[in-house]
Amino acid sequence: MLILTCPCCGVTGEETEFHAGGEAHLKRFGPGSSEDQFEEYLFMRENPKGVHFERWRHVNGCGKWFHAARNTVTLEVYGTYAAQTHEPPADLRDKITEKVPGWTWREFQ
Amino acid sequence: MSTRLATGGRLLNKSRALTFTFNGKTMKGYEGDTLASALLANDQMLVGRSFKYHRPRGIVASGAEEPNGLVNLGQGGRFEPNQRVTTTELFDGLTAKSQNHWPSLEFDVGAVNTQLSRFMPAGFYYKTFMYPRPLWKHVYEPFIRKAAGLGAAPKDRDDDTYEHFYAFCDVLVIGGGVAGLQAAKAAADTGAHVMLIEQTAHWGGRASVDGGEVAGKPVDNFVDETVAALEAMENVTLRRRMMGAGVYDHGYVLGYERLTDHAPEAAGPRHRLWRIRAAQIVTATGAIERPLSFAGNDIPGVMLASAVRDYVTDFGVSPGDRTVVVTNNDNAYLTAIALKNAGLDVPAILDARVLPTDSALMAQAKSLGIRVLMGCGVSKVQGGKRVTGVSICSQAGEGAVLEEISCDVIAMSGGWSPVVHLWSHCGGKLVWDADQAAFKPDVDKAPTGADGKPFVTAAGAASGALLLGDVLADADGAGKAAATATGHAPGQSAAQAPVASHAPEAPMAPVWLMPQGAGIKLRSKAWLDYQNDVKVSDVQLAAQEGFQSVEHAKRYTTLGMATDQGKLSNINGLAILSDSLNQPIPQTGTTTFRPPYTPISMGAIGGEARGDVFQPVRRTPIHDWNAENGAEWEPVGQWRRPYAYVRSGESTHDAVMRETKNARDNLGLLDASTLGKIIVRGPDAGKFLDMMYTNMMSTLKVGKCRYGLMCDENGFLIDDGVVARIDDDTWLCHTTTGGAERIHGHMEEWLQTEWWTWQVYVANVTEQYAQIAVVGPNARKALEHLGGMDVSADTMGFMDWADGTLGGFDVRVFRISFSGELSYEIAVKASQGQALWDALMAVGADLGVMPYGTECLHILRAEKGFIMIGDESDGTVIPQDLGLHWAISKKKEDFIGKRGQERSHMVDPTRWQLVGLETVDKSTLPDGAYAVADGTNANGQRETQGRVTSTYHSPNLDRGIAMGLVLNGPDRMGEVLSFPGTDGKEYKAKIVSPVFYDPEGEKPNV
Amino acid sequence: MSNIVSALNNKAYADGIAEVREIGLQGMITLRGDLASSAVKSAATSVTGVKMPAPGHANSDGQHGICWMSPDELLVLCPYDAVADTLEKMGKSLAKAHALYVDVSDARAVFELSGPHAREVLAKLVPVDLSPAAFTSGMFRRSRMAQIPAAFWLHAPDSFRIVTFRSNAQYAFDLLKVAAQPGSEVGYFKG
């Protein structure tokens, strides 16, 4: 059972305090978007063996959503960061590169 | 025979005799006994029957690895099957019964299977019971179910209580032997917060039995002094009778504490499951002795050598009068020496090795007059329900008998395997130690935690250090390393591990089969897994048949799948497999070690969650009144809502019919407190709600209500409810009963993760208010009787709301209707909910008031063709399917679900559409029934053209009414469809408008 | 009004290793807004007379207090009878701010869990380090208590205040009672 640190309230808690919310940094497509764009938005997901970016909510806590950068194999948590962003912060990406040189995830590396 | 010795028994309190029964026979033991030692003291070596062949089984071990000694323990609410006799502490009045035999332990009919064992090899079930297929269900499975299984299932509710406990520490040391004690001491000396847990009732592990000296004094002194030192430290917690059950991600450990198993009359919970979060874990879990594989090694009286000396030293019990020791290592000589010193007869030590010179222990044994036969092994054990003798052969040969010796115990040792379970649970890897012929933790491949760093260190025998001096040095290092990893480095002056001495030992020699060239006759009587009856020949057959992966071979043969999870059989089994596959053992690898280490009680896993607190039941402020007034409950999410208020002498159906008629004729009250209530406020609240709902909410006028629909991005309907505009910046959104938390979360998610610049705050105020629906032709009169605010049609029109007072209560009144009647919903502070309800019941007395439940609510809304989330919607239905086009804005550029609803499948005209269904004979359609069409689909199933979504008997129309989704339904009014029921009947129903009652909507409009 | 009743009407249990009591109605106001803005800060502090708490903390004085709920939410405590006045005062402070302030007093139940074993009773139910070194006076924690959401803080040494939803009050009470059952002392927390 994982432990995560909520960047919104600072609490480090066990997984039962949190709720996993799927892949991070999805771009919403609404009316006017093409079938392909909408399909991509609604259904297409990364399933990496290694570095992954996810959304989590501190549901039994401050109630806030946040992002987590995690390794799906080792379960190492590289860091958590605010939900109000479209991409992982640069310092976190650097930290991951130190540990997993050459990682890529969607358009990020 | 096995018996109690006049002397010895370091764990016993001989001043306190205890009485217990085994299979109804009264026996005596002492405080400090395990059930196993007490049974042996009463000459009860035979304790059970094996799983498959029902062969007689005796006690083999003295600890958690025991495969045979499983009993049904206790009675009634304290009955528990499959309890290990070696880890059950004796208490006065204990009752135990042996398992898996009929009619008796001594004489078992199922034992005939052993004569058939030739016909029941590995994979027997798979091979035999495949064909003909119908026989599986009717013949094979019932037979196997009857024959298989060990203990009986409990019949009564568990009398005991259980609990969890959340603990946090820097260093958790698992195992209270000398390694655990030294590791804990070394870690604690740094100031780290240390917890040390031990599964048995005693500290020190095997050391006291096996002897040796620490700092020039007997090892017992070291144990006592270290325990005393740890007890005195503020930063240390010591717990006995607590097993490290499993190691999980990020330093999570389950500790299984048995509080009252040894003292059943004590108050408090029976077991406590510790949910420990440790920064670092030291596994000081010791090692387990391996059996040797020779013919007849399962006959009662064949025991692990270490267990034999445990019984003699710890419990003053001699397992037999004449013990032959058979070994491939020096360690087992300790058993021969201990027995001899206790005055017992040891006719011979059979040592499979050939050594150039005698080791110290060999010399000591010989000096005691014990005969040592080098290069020898067991050809065959003689005896049935008890060992009577042993045939000796050369280990290098094929089993030709050199000599026969009569004996009643064979003490065997195939070497020691580190207990690597806890190291391995969370991904720790293993490395093959050729010297000890065992897997041990690979220190370079430890489990890693949240920070990517190792969090488990093995210590002592668990890390492969088997001799006392090595154990202490290794454990000291492990304790210091673990503490250092938590930021508590030992200082320059930190104490070093005490120096220990022990007799030097000659190297062991791997022996996987005895004798080496044993033929099939011997191999098919050489047991690997005692509980599941897996023999050397079974594993060899599996390899021959192509089961090369150790995981496949395990499942095919059932090796290691018994309750002991292969603690004794694992290494021996995979050595045989490797040999059959002609590959080295490390290449074969091990099966996966999974928690728990030994089985833990279901009660402990459930913890406090049983009885009244099995799950949360949410109660409205009017719950108690409901309960006292005949409510039959309907669970809605975690809420309990009255389904109907049943009066005495009335059936539930009668009550529903009565309530439903009365609400239309007079006055009904509904406890609607469970409806979700969410405040949405801010300059962008209107814009936000326009995205949340399919219809327009920003244009709603203050003081007005509007019914709204919510969809997900797929376009599917997820919730509905009435929205009221409170002021310019504030809306109040009602959700379904089950939807409050979900919809609140849905709103927060969009606000936090997509539109975070929008100025909107939401708050879930569901429980702040009790809400009461006042429904029926007399509704207005009831409110007027309470008095305080104008609720006339002119002042408060349909879909208006107002704040005011009624009967002295501060209330918010919504004139909305989910019943098609004149109706008001009144919100009042929850703490006054019951008082308002009482007031309404009082003023309604002359107006024909009756409370009504959820079933009546359903019928009232179905009579009006109103949809219900969860009935008409099921996660695949869009509002357009339900004829709700009027509630979907065409003006809005965007809302959640709009794009989804534009997809080709969502605009397909052949999507099933909502209609009313009226049975031809007035009966009630079965819920969920499908309307059949002509022909069959690709799977040969009847084609369908619709299904029932809601169906009721309407007392107001005196007929069955239903709603359903039907292909081209709205265009097929008057057509009769056929609905086959699961009762075999065919129901006929006509397609009609879903509005059955008061189609003009005149009733609420007064 | 005499017909105002809290969820469990001050139900208590005193036969276990810690005392459990529903303390009756406590005034509570949810305040959402920019916690850095002076309007929001003063709306909370002026009506309670206590200072703004740090994240994860609560400041309280008798029935008055401020609990930090999240980066944009406070729980303002006041006497139950004073809620209407307090809301009105807060409304004046917040007239020009984008904020939400709403009475939630009736939506909650408040329990007192007290006695020398209070910490270990609560630690049977919440996945939080409640050792005296880790959970200290002034801290405010929202978490999970068995199967329901709960928030708690140390009201006094050895005395927790625990807030749950009103509908869960009976469950919460029964849960605390089970956790405090006689003979269930753990003995883990020292000092």
What residue in B sits closest to C9 (Cα-Cα)? B831
Question: What is the pairing mode between strands B730-735 and B801-806?
Answer: unpaired
Which stretches does DSSP call E strand in B210-308? 213-214, 217-218, 236-239, 242-248, 252-258, 271-283, 287-289, 302-304
Rounded Cα distance, B845 and C187, in Å? 58
Same domain flag for B278 and B183: yes
Superfamily covering domain C12-24+107-179: Probable tRNA modification gtpase trme; domain 1 (3.30.1360.120)
- CATH number of the domain where residue B938 is located: 2.40.30.110
Expressed in percent and rounded to 5, the helix, strand and coil fractions of chain C are 25, 35, 40
For residue A17, give how far its alpha carbon lies from the nearest alpha carbon of chain C (Å). 6
Rounded Cα distance, B537 and B119, in Å? 13
Nearest residue to B584 (alpha-carbon basis) of B554, B609, B550: B550
Q: What is the ipTM of this complex?
A: 0.98
Rounded Cα distance, B533 and B561, in Å? 11
Which distant-in-sequence residues (6+ apart) come within 8 Å of C186 by Cβ?
B165, B272, C117, C120, C123, C124
Which distant-in-sequence residues (6+ apart) come within 8 Å of B481 by Cβ?
B457
Q: Is residue B876 part of a domain?
A: no
Does residue B132 have a cis peptide bond before it, meaning omega lies within 30 degrees of 0? yes
Of A1, A35, A84, the CB nearest to B248: A1
Q: Is residue B578 part of a domain?
A: yes
Q: For chain B, list residues with pLDDT below 70.
A: 102-103, 109-120, 124-133, 136, 139-149
Q: Say if CB B630 and CB B658 are below 8 A apart.
A: no
Same domain flag for B648 and B721: no
pLDDT at C1: 47
Are C4 and B832 a contacting pair at CB < 8 A? Answer: yes
Q: Say if CB B867 and CB B884 are below 8 A apart.
A: yes
- The structural domain count of chain B equals 6
pLDDT at C21: 98
Q: Say if CB B405 and CB B326 are below 8 A apart.
A: no
Q: Which of A60, A81, A84 is the best mutation test for C, with the most CBs of C within 10 A? A: A60
Number of CB pairs < 8 Å for A and C? Answer: 36
Chain B residues with CB inside 8 Å of A28's CB?
Answer: 754
Are C143 and A8 a contacting pair at CB < 8 A? Answer: no
User: pLDDT by residue (tens digit) across B115-129?
Assistant: 666 666 777 666 666
Are A57 and B250 a contacting pair at CB < 8 A? Answer: no
Of C32, C123, C148, the CB nearest to B616: C148
Rounded Cα distance, C93 and C47, in Å? 10
B212-216, C145-149, C169-173: lowest mean pLDDT where?
B212-216
What are the residues of chain A with a beta carbon less than 8 Å away from any beta carbon of chain C? 8-11, 13-14, 16-17, 60-64
CA atoms within 13 A on the CB side of B362: 21
Are A74 and B452 a contacting pair at CB < 8 A? Answer: yes
Is C147 an interface residue toward A (CB < 8 Å)?
A: no
Chain C residues with CB inside 8 Å of A4's CB?
Answer: none
Q: Which residues of B576-588 are buried (b: 16+ CB within 10 A; e: fewer)?
A: bbbbbbeeebeeb
Superfamily covering domain C27-106: Heterotetrameric sarcosine oxidase (3.30.70.1520)
The range of the structural domain enclosing residue B638 comes to 623-674+768-860
- CATH number of the domain where residue B271 is located: 3.50.50.60
Whether residue C32 is predicted with pLDDT greater than 80 in this model: the reply is yes
Would you identify the CATH topology of the domain A3-99? Folate-binding fold (3.30.2270)
Rounded Cα distance, A44 and A38, in Å? 10
The domain boundary, picked from B396, B414, B432, lies at B414
Same domain flag for B295 and B383: yes
Of B252, B450, B898, the CB nearest to A76: B450
For residue C135, give how far its alpha carbon lies from the nearest alpha carbon of chain A (Å). 12
Same domain flag for B790 and B827: yes
User: pLDDT by residue (tens digit) across C114-145?
Assistant: 999 999 999 999 999 999 999 999 999 999 99
Which distant-in-sequence residues (6+ apart) come within 8 Å of B838 by Cβ?
B625, C3
Cα–Cα distances in angstroms (integers) from residue B724 to residues A6, B613, B680, B687, in the given order: 35, 37, 10, 15
- With the C-alpha atoms ordered C148, C154, C158, C160, is the resulting torsion angle positive or negative? negative
For residue C55, give how far its alpha carbon lies from the nearest alpha carbon of chain A (Å). 7
Is C32 an interface residue toward A (CB < 8 Å)?
A: no
Nearest residue to B852 (alpha-carbon basis) of B652, B555, B995: B652
pLDDT at B129: 63
Q: Neighbours of B (≥3 Cβ pairs closer than 8 A)? A: A, C
Residues of chain C with CATH 3.30.70.1520: 27-106
Residues of chain C with CATH 3.30.1360.120: 12-24+107-179
Are B275 and C127 a contacting pair at CB < 8 A? Answer: yes
Are C167 and B639 a contacting pair at CB < 8 A? Answer: yes
Are C70 and A63 a contacting pair at CB < 8 A? Answer: yes
Same domain flag for B756 and B849: no
Q: Domain residues of chain A, as ranges?
A: 3-99
> What does the CA dihedral B574, B576, B580, B586 come to, rounded to 10 degrees?
40
pLDDT at B100: 76
Is B648 an interface residue toward C (CB < 8 Å)?
A: no
Rounded Cα distance, C25 and B659, in Å? 35
Chain B residues with CB inside 8 Å of C3's CB?
Answer: 832, 834-835, 838
Structure tokens at B391: 């045939």
Same domain flag for B792 and B759: no
Report DSSP letters for B363-377, one per residue: HHHHHTT--EEETEE
Q: Is residue B729 part of a domain?
A: yes
- CATH number of the domain where residue B804 is located: 3.30.1360.120
Q: Is residue B15 part of a domain?
A: no
Rounded Cα distance, B339 and B323, in Å? 8
Same domain flag for B313 and B329: yes
Say which residue the tokens 């069955």 belong to.
B960
Rounded Cα distance, B377 and B397, in Å? 10
Are B450 and A77 a contacting pair at CB < 8 A? Answer: yes
**Burial level of B757, CB count in 10 A (0-12/13-18/19+)?**
exposed
Chain C residues with CB inside 8 Å of B766's CB?
Answer: 107
